[in-house]
Chains A and B, each alone.
Chain A
Amino acid sequence: MSHAPLLDIKNVTQKFGGVVAVDDLTLHVNEGEVFALVGPNGAGKSTVFNLISRFYTPANGSISFNGEQLLDLVPDRIPSLGIARTFQNIELFEQATVLQNLLVGRHRHRATNVLSELFFLPSVRREERRHRHAVEQVIDFLDLQPYRDKMIAGLPYGVRKVVELGRALATEPKLLLLDEPASGLSVEETQDMAFWIEDIQKQMGITVLMVEHDMGLVSAVSNRVMALADGKELATGTPQEVQSHPAVIEAYLGTSGIQKGGQQAEKSSAAKSAPKPAKTAAKKASAKKAVPKKAAAKKPAAKKPAARKQATRKPASARKGAKS
Protein backbone atom coordinates (compact mmCIF):
# COMPACT_ATOMS: atom_id res chain seq x y z
CA MET A 1 0.00 0.00 0.00
CA SER A 2 2.87 2.34 -0.67
CA HIS A 3 1.45 3.88 -3.85
CA ALA A 4 -1.23 6.56 -3.95
CA PRO A 5 -4.80 5.48 -3.14
CA LEU A 6 -7.18 4.77 -6.02
CA LEU A 7 -9.94 6.99 -4.69
CA ASP A 8 -9.08 9.93 -2.51
CA ILE A 9 -11.81 12.01 -0.89
CA LYS A 10 -10.55 15.02 1.01
CA ASN A 11 -12.50 17.30 3.35
CA VAL A 12 -15.76 17.00 1.45
CA THR A 13 -18.88 18.73 2.79
CA GLN A 14 -22.37 18.42 1.34
CA LYS A 15 -25.35 20.33 2.68
CA PHE A 16 -29.04 20.06 1.82
CA GLY A 17 -30.70 23.21 3.05
CA GLY A 18 -29.79 23.28 6.71
CA VAL A 19 -28.91 19.61 6.93
CA VAL A 20 -25.26 18.66 6.70
CA ALA A 21 -25.31 15.24 5.05
CA VAL A 22 -21.56 14.85 4.75
CA ASP A 23 -19.40 16.88 7.09
CA ASP A 24 -15.76 17.45 6.22
CA LEU A 25 -15.25 13.81 5.35
CA THR A 26 -11.89 12.43 4.35
CA LEU A 27 -11.45 8.87 3.17
CA HIS A 28 -9.33 6.95 0.75
CA VAL A 29 -9.80 3.61 -0.94
CA ASN A 30 -6.70 1.66 -1.92
CA GLU A 31 -6.44 -0.30 -5.11
CA GLY A 32 -7.63 -3.87 -4.78
CA GLU A 33 -9.45 -3.63 -1.49
CA VAL A 34 -13.08 -3.94 -0.48
CA PHE A 35 -14.01 -0.90 1.53
CA ALA A 36 -17.35 -0.73 3.31
CA LEU A 37 -19.22 2.28 4.62
CA VAL A 38 -21.53 1.49 7.48
CA GLY A 39 -23.65 3.64 9.70
CA PRO A 40 -27.19 4.39 10.71
CA ASN A 41 -29.71 5.78 8.24
CA GLY A 42 -29.00 9.33 7.32
CA ALA A 43 -25.33 9.01 8.12
CA GLY A 44 -24.49 10.23 4.64
CA LYS A 45 -23.34 6.98 3.08
CA SER A 46 -25.38 7.21 -0.09
CA THR A 47 -24.53 10.88 -0.32
CA VAL A 48 -20.86 9.91 -0.57
CA PHE A 49 -21.77 7.71 -3.55
CA ASN A 50 -23.75 10.47 -5.19
CA LEU A 51 -20.82 12.80 -4.69
CA ILE A 52 -18.49 10.35 -6.41
CA SER A 53 -21.03 9.90 -9.23
CA ARG A 54 -21.18 13.70 -9.41
CA PHE A 55 -24.95 13.84 -8.99
CA TYR A 56 -24.16 16.23 -6.17
CA THR A 57 -21.52 18.91 -6.08
CA PRO A 58 -19.97 19.37 -2.64
CA ALA A 59 -19.64 22.75 -0.98
CA ASN A 60 -15.92 22.21 -0.57
CA GLY A 61 -13.26 19.54 -0.67
CA SER A 62 -11.82 17.43 -3.44
CA ILE A 63 -12.34 13.96 -4.85
CA SER A 64 -9.68 12.40 -6.99
CA PHE A 65 -9.69 9.05 -8.71
CA ASN A 66 -6.54 7.63 -10.23
CA GLY A 67 -5.08 11.13 -10.21
CA GLU A 68 -8.09 12.74 -11.94
CA GLN A 69 -10.14 15.42 -10.23
CA LEU A 70 -13.73 14.17 -10.32
CA LEU A 71 -15.22 17.53 -9.39
CA ASP A 72 -14.11 18.93 -12.75
CA LEU A 73 -16.25 16.37 -14.57
CA VAL A 74 -19.95 15.98 -15.39
CA PRO A 75 -21.80 12.85 -14.20
CA ASP A 76 -21.73 11.05 -17.53
CA ARG A 77 -17.94 11.33 -17.76
CA ILE A 78 -17.42 9.40 -14.52
CA PRO A 79 -18.01 5.89 -15.97
CA SER A 80 -15.38 6.44 -18.64
CA LEU A 81 -12.76 6.75 -15.89
CA GLY A 82 -13.68 3.27 -14.74
CA ILE A 83 -16.17 3.92 -11.95
CA ALA A 84 -19.42 1.94 -12.03
CA ARG A 85 -22.21 1.93 -9.50
CA THR A 86 -25.45 0.36 -8.43
CA PHE A 87 -28.36 2.12 -6.80
CA GLN A 88 -30.09 1.74 -3.48
CA ASN A 89 -33.55 1.52 -5.04
CA ILE A 90 -32.67 -0.36 -8.21
CA GLU A 91 -32.55 1.84 -11.29
CA LEU A 92 -32.75 -0.52 -14.23
CA PHE A 93 -34.16 0.09 -17.69
CA GLU A 94 -37.56 -1.45 -17.06
CA GLN A 95 -38.85 -1.82 -20.59
CA ALA A 96 -35.78 -3.62 -21.86
CA THR A 97 -34.42 -7.14 -21.53
CA VAL A 98 -31.64 -8.20 -19.19
CA LEU A 99 -29.34 -8.53 -22.17
CA GLN A 100 -30.10 -5.02 -23.36
CA ASN A 101 -29.55 -3.65 -19.88
CA LEU A 102 -26.16 -5.26 -19.70
CA LEU A 103 -25.30 -4.03 -23.19
CA VAL A 104 -26.06 -0.47 -22.08
CA GLY A 105 -23.38 -1.05 -19.51
CA ARG A 106 -20.95 -1.39 -22.42
CA HIS A 107 -21.75 2.15 -23.51
CA ARG A 108 -18.42 3.57 -22.44
CA HIS A 109 -16.59 1.08 -24.65
CA ARG A 110 -18.50 1.84 -27.80
CA ALA A 111 -16.39 2.72 -30.78
CA THR A 112 -19.11 3.39 -33.37
CA ASN A 113 -21.05 6.54 -34.16
CA VAL A 114 -24.65 7.19 -35.10
CA LEU A 115 -23.93 7.41 -38.80
CA SER A 116 -22.23 4.03 -39.02
CA GLU A 117 -24.96 2.54 -36.83
CA LEU A 118 -27.71 3.84 -39.08
CA PHE A 119 -26.22 1.88 -41.96
CA PHE A 120 -25.08 -0.95 -39.71
CA LEU A 121 -21.65 -1.09 -41.29
CA PRO A 122 -19.57 -4.24 -40.77
CA SER A 123 -17.64 -2.40 -38.08
CA VAL A 124 -20.85 -2.00 -36.08
CA ARG A 125 -21.55 -5.72 -36.31
CA ARG A 126 -18.00 -6.49 -35.19
CA GLU A 127 -18.40 -4.16 -32.25
CA GLU A 128 -21.76 -5.67 -31.34
CA ARG A 129 -20.24 -9.15 -31.28
CA ARG A 130 -17.41 -7.90 -29.11
CA HIS A 131 -19.79 -6.26 -26.62
CA ARG A 132 -22.01 -9.30 -26.60
CA HIS A 133 -19.02 -11.49 -25.82
CA ALA A 134 -18.06 -9.27 -22.90
CA VAL A 135 -21.64 -9.27 -21.63
CA GLU A 136 -21.83 -13.06 -21.88
CA GLN A 137 -18.84 -13.28 -19.55
CA VAL A 138 -20.80 -11.29 -17.00
CA ILE A 139 -23.90 -13.41 -17.54
CA ASP A 140 -21.83 -16.55 -16.95
CA PHE A 141 -20.24 -15.07 -13.86
CA LEU A 142 -23.56 -14.08 -12.29
CA ASP A 143 -25.54 -17.09 -13.56
CA LEU A 144 -28.05 -14.88 -15.36
CA GLN A 145 -28.53 -17.27 -18.32
CA PRO A 146 -32.19 -18.09 -17.53
CA TYR A 147 -33.11 -14.41 -17.59
CA ARG A 148 -31.12 -13.27 -20.63
CA ASP A 149 -34.10 -12.37 -22.81
CA LYS A 150 -36.57 -11.52 -20.05
CA MET A 151 -37.96 -8.04 -19.55
CA ILE A 152 -36.82 -6.35 -16.37
CA ALA A 153 -40.40 -5.32 -15.60
CA GLY A 154 -41.32 -8.95 -14.94
CA LEU A 155 -38.32 -9.98 -12.84
CA PRO A 156 -38.29 -10.56 -9.09
CA TYR A 157 -36.41 -8.19 -6.83
CA GLY A 158 -33.46 -10.47 -6.13
CA VAL A 159 -32.72 -10.98 -9.82
CA ARG A 160 -32.96 -7.27 -10.52
CA LYS A 161 -30.35 -6.67 -7.87
CA VAL A 162 -28.04 -9.11 -9.64
CA VAL A 163 -28.78 -7.59 -13.04
CA GLU A 164 -27.81 -4.21 -11.69
CA LEU A 165 -24.55 -5.63 -10.41
CA GLY A 166 -24.05 -7.21 -13.83
CA ARG A 167 -24.69 -3.94 -15.61
CA ALA A 168 -22.05 -2.27 -13.46
CA LEU A 169 -19.60 -5.11 -14.16
CA ALA A 170 -20.25 -4.88 -17.90
CA THR A 171 -18.64 -1.45 -17.87
CA GLU A 172 -15.38 -3.17 -16.84
CA PRO A 173 -14.74 -0.78 -13.99
CA LYS A 174 -11.66 -0.23 -11.89
CA LEU A 175 -13.80 0.84 -8.96
CA LEU A 176 -17.24 -0.57 -8.22
CA LEU A 177 -19.63 1.35 -5.99
CA LEU A 178 -22.27 -0.93 -4.48
CA ASP A 179 -25.13 0.83 -2.74
CA GLU A 180 -26.65 -1.68 -0.32
CA PRO A 181 -26.04 -4.77 -2.47
CA ALA A 182 -27.80 -7.07 0.00
CA SER A 183 -30.81 -5.00 0.97
CA GLY A 184 -34.01 -6.92 0.42
CA LEU A 185 -32.20 -10.14 -0.47
CA SER A 186 -32.84 -13.49 1.11
CA VAL A 187 -30.16 -15.29 3.12
CA GLU A 188 -29.12 -17.43 0.15
CA GLU A 189 -29.04 -14.46 -2.18
CA THR A 190 -26.94 -12.52 0.32
CA GLN A 191 -24.51 -15.42 0.46
CA ASP A 192 -24.26 -15.48 -3.32
CA MET A 193 -23.67 -11.75 -3.24
CA ALA A 194 -20.83 -12.25 -0.75
CA PHE A 195 -19.13 -14.79 -3.02
CA TRP A 196 -19.54 -12.57 -6.00
CA ILE A 197 -18.05 -9.58 -4.24
CA GLU A 198 -15.12 -11.71 -3.19
CA ASP A 199 -14.62 -12.97 -6.74
CA ILE A 200 -14.94 -9.46 -8.10
CA GLN A 201 -12.13 -8.41 -5.83
CA LYS A 202 -9.87 -11.44 -6.09
CA GLN A 203 -10.42 -12.71 -9.63
CA MET A 204 -11.29 -9.58 -11.51
CA GLY A 205 -9.07 -7.30 -9.47
CA ILE A 206 -11.77 -4.66 -9.12
CA THR A 207 -11.71 -2.36 -6.14
CA VAL A 208 -15.04 -2.24 -4.33
CA LEU A 209 -16.53 0.53 -2.25
CA MET A 210 -19.83 -0.45 -0.73
CA VAL A 211 -22.54 0.81 1.56
CA GLU A 212 -24.16 -1.97 3.50
CA HIS A 213 -26.23 -2.48 6.61
CA ASP A 214 -25.82 -6.24 6.80
CA MET A 215 -22.83 -6.55 9.13
CA GLY A 216 -22.54 -10.23 8.29
CA LEU A 217 -21.85 -9.40 4.66
CA VAL A 218 -19.60 -6.50 5.59
CA SER A 219 -17.36 -8.52 7.87
CA ALA A 220 -17.30 -11.43 5.46
CA VAL A 221 -15.99 -9.52 2.46
CA SER A 222 -14.48 -6.20 3.40
CA ASN A 223 -10.86 -5.44 4.18
CA ARG A 224 -11.55 -2.09 5.75
CA VAL A 225 -14.70 -0.52 7.15
CA MET A 226 -15.55 3.06 7.95
CA ALA A 227 -18.43 3.82 10.27
CA LEU A 228 -20.23 7.09 9.64
CA ALA A 229 -22.73 9.00 11.71
CA ASP A 230 -24.15 12.42 10.95
CA GLY A 231 -21.83 12.71 7.98
CA LYS A 232 -18.72 12.31 10.11
CA GLU A 233 -16.23 9.51 10.46
CA LEU A 234 -16.61 7.53 13.68
CA ALA A 235 -14.04 4.86 13.15
CA THR A 236 -12.04 3.17 10.41
CA GLY A 237 -10.32 -0.17 10.47
CA THR A 238 -10.92 -3.86 10.05
CA PRO A 239 -14.53 -4.98 10.52
CA GLN A 240 -13.73 -6.31 13.98
CA GLU A 241 -12.02 -3.10 15.07
CA VAL A 242 -14.89 -0.96 13.91
CA GLN A 243 -17.56 -3.14 15.47
CA SER A 244 -15.91 -3.02 18.85
CA HIS A 245 -15.17 0.70 18.69
CA PRO A 246 -16.99 2.47 21.53
CA ALA A 247 -18.15 5.38 19.37
CA VAL A 248 -19.72 2.98 16.86
CA ILE A 249 -21.53 1.05 19.57
CA GLU A 250 -22.78 4.32 20.97
CA ALA A 251 -24.00 5.53 17.55
CA TYR A 252 -25.95 2.34 17.00
CA LEU A 253 -27.27 1.72 20.48
CA GLY A 254 -26.94 5.15 22.03
CA THR A 255 -25.80 5.57 25.61
CA SER A 256 -29.35 5.31 26.86
CA GLY A 257 -30.32 2.73 24.30
CA ILE A 258 -31.99 5.31 22.06
CA GLN A 259 -30.84 5.57 18.49
CA LYS A 260 -29.09 8.84 17.96
CA GLY A 261 -28.24 8.74 14.26
CA GLY A 262 -29.59 11.68 12.30
CA GLN A 263 -32.48 10.73 10.10
CA GLN A 264 -32.68 14.09 8.42
CA ALA A 265 -31.02 13.50 5.08
CA GLU A 266 -32.70 10.25 4.16
CA LYS A 267 -36.09 11.21 5.49
CA SER A 268 -37.55 11.76 2.06
CA SER A 269 -35.85 8.83 0.40
CA ALA A 270 -36.99 6.56 3.16
CA ALA A 271 -40.53 7.44 2.36
CA LYS A 272 -40.10 6.89 -1.34
CA SER A 273 -40.32 3.13 -1.52
CA ALA A 274 -43.07 1.47 0.37
CA PRO A 275 -41.34 -1.39 2.09
CA LYS A 276 -38.40 0.64 3.17
CA PRO A 277 -39.25 1.89 6.63
CA ALA A 278 -40.03 -1.64 7.65
CA LYS A 279 -36.93 -2.88 5.93
CA THR A 280 -34.61 -0.41 7.53
CA ALA A 281 -36.09 -1.12 10.89
CA ALA A 282 -35.23 -4.74 10.36
CA LYS A 283 -31.81 -3.75 9.20
CA LYS A 284 -31.24 -1.62 12.24
CA ALA A 285 -32.28 -4.49 14.38
CA SER A 286 -29.90 -6.85 12.65
CA ALA A 287 -27.13 -4.31 12.87
CA LYS A 288 -27.77 -3.83 16.56
CA LYS A 289 -27.59 -7.54 17.03
CA ALA A 290 -24.43 -7.74 15.04
CA VAL A 291 -22.53 -5.24 17.08
CA PRO A 292 -22.66 -6.76 20.51
CA LYS A 293 -22.52 -10.35 19.33
CA LYS A 294 -19.39 -10.46 17.31
CA ALA A 295 -19.54 -14.20 16.99
CA ALA A 296 -22.89 -14.01 15.26
CA ALA A 297 -21.56 -11.57 12.74
CA LYS A 298 -18.58 -13.73 11.97
CA LYS A 299 -20.61 -16.83 11.44
CA PRO A 300 -21.11 -16.56 7.69
CA ALA A 301 -17.40 -16.04 7.23
CA ALA A 302 -16.55 -19.12 9.24
CA LYS A 303 -19.12 -21.20 7.43
CA LYS A 304 -18.02 -20.06 4.05
CA PRO A 305 -15.83 -22.84 2.63
CA ALA A 306 -18.53 -25.45 3.01
CA ALA A 307 -21.36 -23.21 1.93
CA ARG A 308 -19.39 -21.94 -1.01
CA LYS A 309 -19.05 -25.29 -2.71
CA GLN A 310 -22.73 -25.90 -2.43
CA ALA A 311 -23.62 -22.49 -3.71
CA THR A 312 -21.36 -22.56 -6.72
CA ARG A 313 -22.66 -25.91 -7.77
CA LYS A 314 -26.19 -24.76 -8.42
CA PRO A 315 -26.66 -21.20 -7.34
CA ALA A 316 -29.22 -20.32 -10.00
CA SER A 317 -31.68 -22.96 -8.96
CA ALA A 318 -31.08 -22.18 -5.31
CA ARG A 319 -31.94 -18.57 -5.93
CA LYS A 320 -34.93 -19.46 -7.98
CA GLY A 321 -36.25 -21.69 -5.23
CA ALA A 322 -35.88 -18.97 -2.70
CA LYS A 323 -37.92 -16.62 -4.79
CA SER A 324 -40.84 -18.70 -5.94
Chain B
Amino acid sequence: MDFIQLIVSGLASGCVYGLIALGFVLIYKATEAVNFAQGDFMMIGAFICLGLTNQDFWGLNFWLAVPIAIVIMAVLGYLFDWGVLRFMFGQSQVSIVILTIAVGFILRFAAGTIWSHEPVSLETPFAGRDISLGGVVLGFDEIAIIIVTLLLTLALFIFFSRTKLGMAMQASSQNQLAAYYMGIPVKRIQSLVWALSGAVAAVAGILFASKGAIDPSAGLLGIKAFAAAAIGGFGSLPGALVGGLIIGLVEPLSARYGAPGFSQIAPYGILILVLVFRPGGLFSQTQKKKV
Protein backbone atom coordinates (compact mmCIF):
# COMPACT_ATOMS: atom_id res chain seq x y z
CA MET B 1 0.00 0.00 0.00
CA ASP B 2 2.82 2.22 0.99
CA PHE B 3 4.50 1.37 -2.27
CA ILE B 4 1.47 2.38 -4.33
CA GLN B 5 1.35 5.75 -2.61
CA LEU B 6 5.02 6.18 -3.37
CA ILE B 7 4.38 5.36 -7.02
CA VAL B 8 1.45 7.74 -7.29
CA SER B 9 3.34 10.61 -5.74
CA GLY B 10 6.29 9.79 -7.99
CA LEU B 11 4.01 9.85 -11.02
CA ALA B 12 2.59 13.16 -9.92
CA SER B 13 5.95 14.86 -9.63
CA GLY B 14 6.99 13.06 -12.80
CA CYS B 15 4.06 14.72 -14.55
CA VAL B 16 5.34 18.13 -13.49
CA TYR B 17 8.85 17.33 -14.72
CA GLY B 18 7.32 15.98 -17.90
CA LEU B 19 5.34 19.17 -18.50
CA ILE B 20 8.39 21.38 -17.99
CA ALA B 21 10.33 19.12 -20.32
CA LEU B 22 7.49 19.35 -22.80
CA GLY B 23 7.70 23.13 -22.90
CA PHE B 24 11.42 22.84 -23.32
CA VAL B 25 11.17 20.34 -26.19
CA LEU B 26 8.46 22.39 -27.90
CA ILE B 27 10.85 25.31 -28.14
CA TYR B 28 13.80 23.18 -29.12
CA LYS B 29 11.89 21.50 -31.91
CA ALA B 30 10.45 24.68 -33.29
CA THR B 31 13.35 27.09 -33.00
CA GLU B 32 16.36 24.97 -32.12
CA ALA B 33 16.93 27.29 -29.20
CA VAL B 34 17.42 25.68 -25.83
CA ASN B 35 15.53 27.45 -23.11
CA PHE B 36 17.45 26.90 -19.92
CA ALA B 37 14.97 29.20 -18.17
CA GLN B 38 12.02 26.86 -18.69
CA GLY B 39 12.09 25.83 -15.05
CA ASP B 40 12.00 29.49 -14.06
CA PHE B 41 9.09 30.08 -16.44
CA MET B 42 7.31 27.32 -14.52
CA MET B 43 8.16 29.01 -11.23
CA ILE B 44 6.97 32.42 -12.45
CA GLY B 45 3.73 30.86 -13.72
CA ALA B 46 3.13 29.37 -10.31
CA PHE B 47 3.86 32.68 -8.59
CA ILE B 48 1.56 34.63 -10.90
CA CYS B 49 -1.30 32.27 -10.15
CA LEU B 50 -0.40 32.36 -6.48
CA GLY B 51 -0.28 36.14 -6.47
CA LEU B 52 -3.72 36.27 -8.04
CA THR B 53 -5.46 33.76 -5.86
CA ASN B 54 -3.78 33.62 -2.46
CA GLN B 55 -5.44 35.56 0.37
CA ASP B 56 -2.16 37.35 1.19
CA PHE B 57 -2.18 38.91 -2.27
CA TRP B 58 -5.18 39.54 -4.55
CA GLY B 59 -7.50 36.82 -3.36
CA LEU B 60 -9.21 36.12 -6.69
CA ASN B 61 -11.24 33.00 -7.26
CA PHE B 62 -8.95 30.07 -8.06
CA TRP B 63 -10.80 29.09 -11.24
CA LEU B 64 -10.50 32.64 -12.51
CA ALA B 65 -6.86 32.97 -11.52
CA VAL B 66 -5.71 29.85 -13.35
CA PRO B 67 -6.69 30.93 -16.88
CA ILE B 68 -5.41 34.44 -16.25
CA ALA B 69 -2.06 33.10 -15.11
CA ILE B 70 -1.86 30.84 -18.15
CA VAL B 71 -2.65 33.73 -20.50
CA ILE B 72 -0.13 36.02 -18.80
CA MET B 73 2.57 33.38 -19.15
CA ALA B 74 1.68 32.83 -22.80
CA VAL B 75 1.98 36.56 -23.43
CA LEU B 76 5.29 36.68 -21.58
CA GLY B 77 6.59 33.79 -23.68
CA TYR B 78 5.51 35.54 -26.86
CA LEU B 79 7.07 38.83 -25.80
CA PHE B 80 10.33 37.18 -24.85
CA ASP B 81 10.72 35.71 -28.30
CA TRP B 82 9.51 38.84 -30.04
CA GLY B 83 11.40 41.34 -27.94
CA VAL B 84 14.62 39.54 -27.11
CA LEU B 85 15.31 36.42 -29.11
CA ARG B 86 14.67 38.00 -32.49
CA PHE B 87 17.68 40.21 -31.89
CA MET B 88 19.72 37.07 -31.42
CA PHE B 89 18.94 35.90 -34.92
CA GLY B 90 22.02 34.33 -36.46
CA GLN B 91 23.98 34.01 -33.24
CA SER B 92 25.31 30.72 -32.07
CA GLN B 93 23.39 28.34 -29.88
CA VAL B 94 25.88 28.81 -27.08
CA SER B 95 24.88 32.47 -26.85
CA ILE B 96 21.23 31.53 -26.58
CA VAL B 97 22.00 29.02 -23.84
CA ILE B 98 23.89 31.67 -21.91
CA LEU B 99 21.14 34.23 -22.49
CA THR B 100 18.37 31.99 -21.19
CA ILE B 101 20.41 31.13 -18.12
CA ALA B 102 20.75 34.83 -17.44
CA VAL B 103 17.00 35.24 -17.89
CA GLY B 104 16.49 32.49 -15.33
CA PHE B 105 18.52 34.41 -12.76
CA ILE B 106 16.57 37.60 -13.41
CA LEU B 107 13.23 35.79 -13.12
CA ARG B 108 14.31 34.24 -9.85
CA PHE B 109 15.25 37.65 -8.51
CA ALA B 110 11.98 39.18 -9.76
CA ALA B 111 9.86 36.47 -8.16
CA GLY B 112 11.68 36.81 -4.88
CA THR B 113 11.31 40.57 -4.84
CA ILE B 114 7.68 40.71 -5.96
CA TRP B 115 6.27 37.80 -4.00
CA SER B 116 8.47 36.01 -1.54
CA HIS B 117 11.85 34.45 -1.00
CA GLU B 118 10.31 31.92 1.36
CA PRO B 119 8.39 28.86 0.24
CA VAL B 120 4.66 29.57 -0.17
CA SER B 121 1.95 27.14 -1.12
CA LEU B 122 -0.82 27.80 -3.57
CA GLU B 123 -4.30 27.86 -2.04
CA THR B 124 -6.28 25.46 -4.19
CA PRO B 125 -9.76 24.04 -3.68
CA PHE B 126 -8.33 20.55 -3.51
CA ALA B 127 -5.45 21.18 -1.13
CA GLY B 128 -5.23 18.81 1.76
CA ARG B 129 -8.10 16.56 0.65
CA ASP B 130 -7.58 12.83 0.30
CA ILE B 131 -9.27 9.99 -1.47
CA SER B 132 -9.22 6.53 0.03
CA LEU B 133 -9.28 3.73 -2.50
CA GLY B 134 -9.32 0.28 -0.92
CA GLY B 135 -7.04 1.26 1.93
CA VAL B 136 -4.71 3.38 -0.22
CA VAL B 137 -4.90 7.02 0.72
CA LEU B 138 -4.13 9.23 -2.22
CA GLY B 139 -3.82 13.00 -2.18
CA PHE B 140 -6.47 14.81 -4.20
CA ASP B 141 -3.78 17.09 -5.56
CA GLU B 142 -1.75 14.18 -6.88
CA ILE B 143 -4.74 12.72 -8.69
CA ALA B 144 -5.51 16.17 -10.08
CA ILE B 145 -1.98 16.54 -11.41
CA ILE B 146 -2.08 13.22 -13.21
CA ILE B 147 -5.51 13.92 -14.71
CA VAL B 148 -4.62 17.43 -15.82
CA THR B 149 -1.41 16.22 -17.40
CA LEU B 150 -3.27 13.53 -19.31
CA LEU B 151 -5.86 16.05 -20.51
CA LEU B 152 -3.22 18.57 -21.51
CA THR B 153 -1.28 15.95 -23.44
CA LEU B 154 -4.44 14.96 -25.25
CA ALA B 155 -5.25 18.57 -26.02
CA LEU B 156 -1.74 19.17 -27.35
CA PHE B 157 -1.98 16.05 -29.46
CA ILE B 158 -5.23 17.22 -31.00
CA PHE B 159 -3.81 20.69 -31.43
CA PHE B 160 -0.81 19.46 -33.37
CA SER B 161 -2.59 16.92 -35.50
CA ARG B 162 -5.90 18.65 -36.21
CA THR B 163 -5.63 22.40 -36.08
CA LYS B 164 -4.14 24.54 -38.79
CA LEU B 165 -1.91 26.44 -36.38
CA GLY B 166 -0.63 23.24 -34.84
CA MET B 167 0.24 21.84 -38.24
CA ALA B 168 1.93 25.10 -39.20
CA MET B 169 4.05 24.76 -36.07
CA GLN B 170 4.97 21.22 -36.96
CA ALA B 171 5.83 22.25 -40.49
CA SER B 172 8.05 25.10 -39.43
CA SER B 173 9.77 22.94 -36.86
CA GLN B 174 10.63 20.39 -39.49
CA ASN B 175 11.83 22.79 -42.11
CA GLN B 176 11.71 26.50 -41.51
CA LEU B 177 12.48 27.53 -45.02
CA ALA B 178 10.06 25.19 -46.71
CA ALA B 179 7.38 26.35 -44.29
CA TYR B 180 8.24 29.93 -45.13
CA TYR B 181 7.82 29.23 -48.82
CA MET B 182 4.42 27.72 -48.16
CA GLY B 183 3.30 31.03 -46.72
CA ILE B 184 3.68 30.23 -43.04
CA PRO B 185 4.88 33.29 -41.09
CA VAL B 186 7.72 31.36 -39.48
CA LYS B 187 8.84 34.09 -37.11
CA ARG B 188 5.39 34.63 -35.72
CA ILE B 189 4.91 30.89 -35.44
CA GLN B 190 8.09 30.73 -33.40
CA SER B 191 6.81 33.40 -31.07
CA LEU B 192 3.57 31.47 -30.77
CA VAL B 193 5.52 28.34 -29.88
CA TRP B 194 7.15 30.32 -27.11
CA ALA B 195 3.70 31.43 -26.02
CA LEU B 196 2.50 27.84 -26.02
CA SER B 197 5.47 26.70 -24.02
CA GLY B 198 4.90 29.56 -21.59
CA ALA B 199 1.33 28.38 -21.13
CA VAL B 200 2.46 24.79 -20.58
CA ALA B 201 5.01 26.08 -18.06
CA ALA B 202 2.23 27.94 -16.24
CA VAL B 203 0.18 24.75 -15.99
CA ALA B 204 3.21 22.86 -14.73
CA GLY B 205 3.88 25.60 -12.20
CA ILE B 206 0.32 25.68 -10.91
CA LEU B 207 0.32 21.91 -10.53
CA PHE B 208 3.68 21.97 -8.81
CA ALA B 209 2.65 24.72 -6.42
CA SER B 210 -0.61 22.99 -5.56
CA LYS B 211 1.28 19.86 -4.54
CA GLY B 212 3.71 21.55 -2.20
CA ALA B 213 5.28 24.89 -1.57
CA ILE B 214 7.05 26.95 -4.17
CA ASP B 215 9.96 29.34 -3.80
CA PRO B 216 12.01 31.24 -6.38
CA SER B 217 14.72 28.62 -6.51
CA ALA B 218 12.14 26.00 -7.57
CA GLY B 219 13.16 27.02 -11.06
CA LEU B 220 16.24 24.89 -10.63
CA LEU B 221 13.89 21.97 -10.91
CA GLY B 222 14.16 22.72 -14.57
CA ILE B 223 17.45 20.84 -14.57
CA LYS B 224 15.62 17.63 -13.72
CA ALA B 225 13.20 18.40 -16.52
CA PHE B 226 16.13 18.83 -18.91
CA ALA B 227 17.41 15.49 -17.77
CA ALA B 228 13.92 14.15 -18.50
CA ALA B 229 13.99 15.67 -21.98
CA ALA B 230 17.42 14.21 -22.65
CA ILE B 231 16.30 10.78 -21.44
CA GLY B 232 13.33 10.99 -23.75
CA GLY B 233 15.49 12.09 -26.65
CA PHE B 234 15.54 15.86 -26.86
CA GLY B 235 13.31 16.32 -29.86
CA SER B 236 10.46 14.04 -28.89
CA LEU B 237 7.29 15.25 -27.15
CA PRO B 238 6.13 11.85 -25.83
CA GLY B 239 9.75 11.18 -24.91
CA ALA B 240 9.77 14.26 -22.71
CA LEU B 241 6.74 13.03 -20.77
CA VAL B 242 8.09 9.51 -20.40
CA GLY B 243 11.45 10.90 -19.31
CA GLY B 244 9.67 13.07 -16.75
CA LEU B 245 7.80 10.09 -15.38
CA ILE B 246 10.98 8.05 -15.15
CA ILE B 247 12.72 10.79 -13.18
CA GLY B 248 9.63 11.31 -11.04
CA LEU B 249 9.56 7.62 -10.13
CA VAL B 250 13.28 7.22 -9.61
CA GLU B 251 13.45 10.01 -7.05
CA PRO B 252 11.10 8.75 -4.30
CA LEU B 253 12.11 5.14 -4.88
CA SER B 254 15.81 5.88 -4.52
CA ALA B 255 15.06 8.05 -1.47
CA ARG B 256 13.22 5.12 0.11
CA TYR B 257 15.51 2.27 -0.85
CA GLY B 258 18.84 3.99 -1.53
CA ALA B 259 21.53 5.48 0.65
CA PRO B 260 20.90 8.92 2.17
CA GLY B 261 21.71 11.73 -0.23
CA PHE B 262 21.51 9.30 -3.10
CA SER B 263 18.10 10.48 -4.30
CA GLN B 264 19.60 13.86 -5.26
CA ILE B 265 22.04 12.21 -7.61
CA ALA B 266 19.93 9.28 -8.83
CA PRO B 267 18.07 11.16 -11.62
CA TYR B 268 21.37 12.25 -13.11
CA GLY B 269 22.72 8.75 -12.74
CA ILE B 270 19.84 7.54 -14.91
CA LEU B 271 20.56 10.34 -17.36
CA ILE B 272 24.18 9.33 -17.67
CA LEU B 273 23.25 5.67 -18.13
CA VAL B 274 20.86 6.62 -20.93
CA LEU B 275 23.41 8.87 -22.58
CA VAL B 276 26.08 6.20 -22.46
CA PHE B 277 23.97 3.36 -23.77
CA ARG B 278 21.43 5.20 -25.93
CA PRO B 279 23.07 8.54 -26.69
CA GLY B 280 20.11 9.86 -28.62
CA GLY B 281 17.70 9.19 -25.76
CA LEU B 282 14.99 6.56 -25.51
CA PHE B 283 12.93 8.04 -28.35
CA SER B 284 15.87 9.10 -30.43
CA GLN B 285 15.48 10.69 -33.78
CA THR B 286 18.22 10.96 -36.37
CA GLN B 287 20.29 14.01 -35.63
CA LYS B 288 22.72 14.44 -38.42
CA LYS B 289 23.24 17.42 -40.55
CA LYS B 290 22.66 17.07 -44.22
CA VAL B 291 25.39 18.27 -46.54
Contact = CB atoms under 8 A, between A and B. Distances in A.
A89 B291 CA distance: 7
Contacts of B177: 271-274
B181 A87 contact: no
Nearest to A268: B175
Interface string A40-73: 0000001000100001000000000000000000
Contacts of A50: 291
B178 A268 contact: yes
B162 interface: no
Interface in A24-54: 46, 50
A267 B177 CA distance: 11
B288 interface: yes
Interface in B266-291: 288, 290-291
Interface string A72-95: 000000000000000111010000
A223 interface: no
A269 interface: yes
Interface residues of A, number: 15
A271 B182 CA distance: 11
A87 B175 contact: no
B66 to A, nearest CB: 40
B291 A91 contact: yes
A237 interface: no
B168 to A, nearest CB: 15
Interface in B105-141: none
A246 interface: no
A21 to B, nearest CB: 11
Contacts of B178: 267-268, 271
Nearest to A90: B291
A79 B70 CA distance: 54
A50 B291 CA distance: 8
A50 B178 CA distance: 23
Contacts of A267: 178
A55 B175 contact: no
A158 B177 CA distance: 23
Contacts of A273: 177
Interface in A259-280: 267-269, 271-274, 277
Interface of A: 46, 50, 55, 87-89, 91, 267-269, 271-274, 277
Interface of B: 174-175, 177-178, 181, 288, 290-291
Given A55-B291, A89-B291, A268-B174, 13 more contacts: A55-B288, A87-B291, A91-B291, A268-B175, A268-B290, A269-B290, A271-B175, A271-B177, A271-B181, A272-B175, A272-B177, A272-B290, A273-B177
15 contacts: A50-B291, A55-B288, A88-B291, A91-B291, A267-B178, A268-B175, A268-B178, A269-B290, A271-B175, A271-B177, A271-B178, A272-B177, A272-B290, A274-B177, A277-B181
